Amino acid sequence: MNKFVKILFLIFIVLGCQNKNTATRIPVAEVNKKILYYDQIPQTLLRDLQGADSIAMVQNYINRWAKQELMLMHAEINLSQNARDEIAIQLEEARANLLIYQYQRQMMQERMDTVISETALEGYYENNKKNLLLMSNIVKALFIKLPVKTPNISRIRSLAGSNDQNNMQQLESLCYNQAERFDDFNENWISLDRLLAELPGEISESEENFLRRNKFYETTDSLSIYMISIREYRLRSTIAPYEYVKDDIKRIIMNSRRFEFIQSLENRIYNEALRENYFKIY
């Protein structure tokens, strides 16, 4: 056991005997009068310190800390004054930007209206349809994956191609114990790419032709049967359905409100400063 490991073990023994409320800090390492204390070592490294591997992890952390502090010491000694001045400017800008950001965030949380009504969402959709075009083909569909030897396959196939609600209930009942996967994606619009990714191979035609030609599609591999029943579809470059872009519209409206709120906040503070002579233009 090397000297470092012995020291660490002594520290852990001492800590085990100390009252947890003590204010005493135990130094572990020092570089140029800067001290690393035991309580600064991440607790995740200190939870299980009985094995040699755990001790090594702590030692590696201390070594990394020392190397960083030594590099910092040499940088402070050897950097030119111009470099120091540039860093000081960057630090001041970073501090200012962080303070401003946190203040803007606090003010938005306290004062900005974050409620977006359904009427506002629908209104935005109606007024901006031409800009809400699909980037991919989308579908509402049912996907079923069954073992090859599943009984009643013909019945399942027939029910899967139907839109009748009673048939769907029968289909779900049949698939409950037999299907490896039975998913209608909560009846939401999804990208066709996502659906086709469930199949064992690629389709032999373009997505657009596939959608135009297939309301029901079935394929197999050595283990499973895959069925897709397409209820509705929309092609890329056409206007997106409202339900599909609703969340996007929420983000657009909220981002617009944030921008307007910040602009209003800046203008209000600016005008108050002019009135109160906090700011003058010479």
Radius of gyration of the chain (CA): 32
CB 136 within 8 A of CB 195: no
Contacts of 243 (CB under 8 A, 6+ apart): 188, 189
Share of the chain above pLDDT 70, in %: 89
In which band, very low, low, confident or very high, does the pLDDT at 49 lie, cut at 50, 70 and 90? low
- Mean pLDDT confidence for 192-198: 94
Q: How far apart are CA 125 and CA 235, in angstroms?
A: 18
Q: Per-domain residue ranges for the chain?
A: 3-78, 118-128+240-275, 134-234
In which band, very low, low, confident or very high, does the pLDDT at 282 lie, cut at 50, 70 and 90? confident
pLDDT at residue 271, as a whole number = 93
Q: Within the chain, where are the H helices?
A: 3-17, 52-78, 81-111, 118-127, 153-160, 165-176, 192-196, 207-213, 242-275
Question: pLDDT, tens digit, for every residue of 127-186?
Answer: 999 999 999 999 999 999 999 999 889 999 999 988 788 888 899 988 888 899 999 999
Question: pLDDT, tens digit, for every residue of 105-132?
Answer: 999 999 999 999 999 999 999 999 999 9
The CATH architecture annotation of domain 134-234 reads Roll (3.10)
Phi, psi of 47 (to 5 degrees): -70, -35
Q: How far apart are CA 29 and CA 34, in angstroms?
A: 8
pLDDT higher than threshold 80 for residue 251: yes
DSSP 104-139: HHHHHHHHS-----HHHHHHHHHHSGGG-B-SS-EE
Q: Which amino acid is at 94?
A: A
Q: Which residue has the tokens 């020392």?
A: 66
* Mean pLDDT of the chain, nearest integer: 88
Any idea what the Cα angle at residue 146 is, between residues 143 and 152, rounded to 5°?
A: 110
pLDDT at residue 159, as a whole number = 92
Determine whether 33 is exposed, middle or buried from the number of CB atoms within 10 Å of its CB (0-12, 13-18, 19+): exposed
Whether the CA torsion 232, 236, 240, 244 is positive or negative: it is positive
Share of the chain above pLDDT 90, in %: 67
pLDDT higher than threshold 50 for residue 87: yes
pLDDT higher than threshold 90 for residue 241: yes
